[in-house]
Amino acid sequence: MTRISSVVAGVFFCGLLGAWGSSPTASFYTLTVDMTLTPMTSTMPVHVVVNPVTIPDVVDRPLIVTRMGNNQVVLDEFARWGEPLKGDIARTIAGDLATLLASDRALGAVSRDIAGVIHAGAP
């Protein structure tokens, strides 16, 4: 009887250790168009193309980076961007401009894929 209870206690203890050792699940984030913006009044249609965005190398990574003071940044291992940040920023700016200018002609930066097909990031 004591041998069975020792085995059960050992299995329970190993399961408990395994639960403590598991990592949190990563969360993925994207930027979105600001839905609280209101269109400005315009007398003529406006066409806008947002050029490719440049961002500092310190934040050009899948992990979300937070500045802590003047000289310290923190990388969050479990908070990640759902798509490359440069494209996400350009798409969001184009979407915000489309709303502000009341135009359906605001596009993100135009790019070509490997096959030469042209893609434009729409809002």
User: Model confidence over 5-19: pLDDT tens digits?
Assistant: 665 566 666 665 555
- Which of 60-69, 81-90, 110-119 has the weakest average pLDDT? 110-119
Which SS3 state, helix, strand or coil, does residue 8 take? helix
User: Model confidence over 30-77: pLDDT tens digits?
Assistant: 999 898 998 887 667 777 778 888 899 999 999 999 999 889 999 999
The pTM of the whole model exceeds 0.85 = no
Q: Nearest-CA neighbor of 31 among 97, 111, 90?
A: 90
**Which pLDDT score, from 0 to 100, does residue 41 have?**
77
Q: Where are the domains of the chain?
A: 24-120
**Which pLDDT score, from 0 to 100, does residue 95 have?**
85
